[in-house]
Amino acid sequence: MPTVAPLDLDGHCVAAVFLGDVPHFALADGTIHRLDHGHKTAQANDGLLAAFHDAANDRLITGGEDGKIFSITAGGNAAELASAGKKWITCVAAGPQGAVAYASGKVAFVRFADGKTKEFMHPRSVEGLAFSPKGMRFGVARYNGATLHFPAADGKPVELEWAGAHTGITFSPDGAFLVTTMQENALHGWKLADGKHMRMSGYPGKVKSLSWSAKGKWLASSGAPAAIVWPFSGKDGPMGKAPLELGTRGNAMVTSVACHPSQDVVAVGYDDGMVMAVRFADAKEVLLRRPGKGAITSMMWDREERRVAFGSAAGDCGVIDISA
């Protein structure tokens, strides 16, 4: 039976992550709470809007209402990386060799590890950012499609068009596919080798959480009363295939998904605060946490694959230990 170590906070949890092996919880007011031999806090942005877990560098990148970019490392060490003036930072991402991307309005910025920064103007607002897993390419989700930039070189960007507002973006771990979340209740995908489109629709709600399974074989998503898990193992991804529907509940919506680091298992968080783990192969479910005060907004597995950190919109956060 899994056990839950709760951390009851007051505020919307934007990101629940492990830094080192310490669970950290970044709240919308910019405080970073951690369970490190007791409850401790640090301060990042004045108003934290976006967060990205930079696994390669074991840090959390945040952006906020104060126009600043912070890097938070284990132990709650918050350091200002950059500032973009008084406009809100709406999205952040981390890439190879310590690069960080962030966006404010129509401009996306890439800050390299040496502190040099490059700007990329767009005709409309930048809504989502993601680096490709290999190389220095990064994708921008925007109105009517996505743009791929090559920040280290001066090459022309690649424009991927698809009508509608694209609000978030992710590359598959092998770099073969690009997937965006949309303002409409749908995902859109491109096979980068030939630009083929993938429409993934039928969600009753907006998709806000995406998680790639081990080796990128599956893409789990929120936005339905079940975790919708698309198969990406074939060369054409999910084209012409039906997704798995895992952890289906009649009275709750899935708001957050986090795939297990090595197994085909997904942690599924719901709008009532419940968390389940579900196995892909047989859809077997294990209850990890009973419903709480608010919708689950963020989850992450630790490196030992033993614990799940979670946070909610109401601030009831905590760590689930599945080995107990």
Q: Which residues bind other proteins (CB under 8 A)?
A: 11-12, 14, 28-29, 47, 49, 65, 86-88, 90, 105-106, 124-125, 127, 143, 163-165, 167, 182-184, 205-206, 313
Q: Which residues lie below 8 Å from residue 247, measured CB to CB, with a gap of 6+?
A: 226, 227, 254, 266, 268, 276, 278, 285
CB of 177 to other proteins, least distance (A): 20
Q: Of 90 and 170, which CB lies nearer to other proteins in the complex structure?
A: 90
Q: Of 172 and 209, which CB lies nearer to other proteins in the complex structure?
A: 209
Radius of gyration of the chain, Cα coordinates, nearest whole angstrom: 18
Q: Note whether 225 and 249 are within 8 A (CB).
A: yes
Q: Of 158 and 165, which CB lies nearer to other proteins in the complex structure?
A: 165
Distance CA 129, CA 101 (A): 7
Q: Of 139 and 311, which CB lies nearer to other proteins in the complex structure?
A: 311
CB of 246 to other proteins, least distance (A): 22
SS3 of 239-253: the string is: CCCCCEEECCCCCCC
Question: What would the two tokens of residue 183 be?
Answer: 């303002």
CB of 26 to other proteins, least distance (A): 11
CB of 221 to other proteins, least distance (A): 16
Distance CA 16, CA 311 (A): 6
Q: Of 216 and 269, which CB lies nearer to other proteins in the complex structure?
A: 269
Distance CA 255, CA 12 (A): 14
Distance CA 18, CA 36 (A): 11
Distance CA 112, CA 100 (A): 6
CB of 140 to other proteins, least distance (A): 14
Q: Of 124 and 303, which CB lies nearer to other proteins in the complex structure?
A: 124
CB of 286 to other proteins, least distance (A): 29
Q: Note whether 211 and 266 are within 8 A (CB).
A: yes
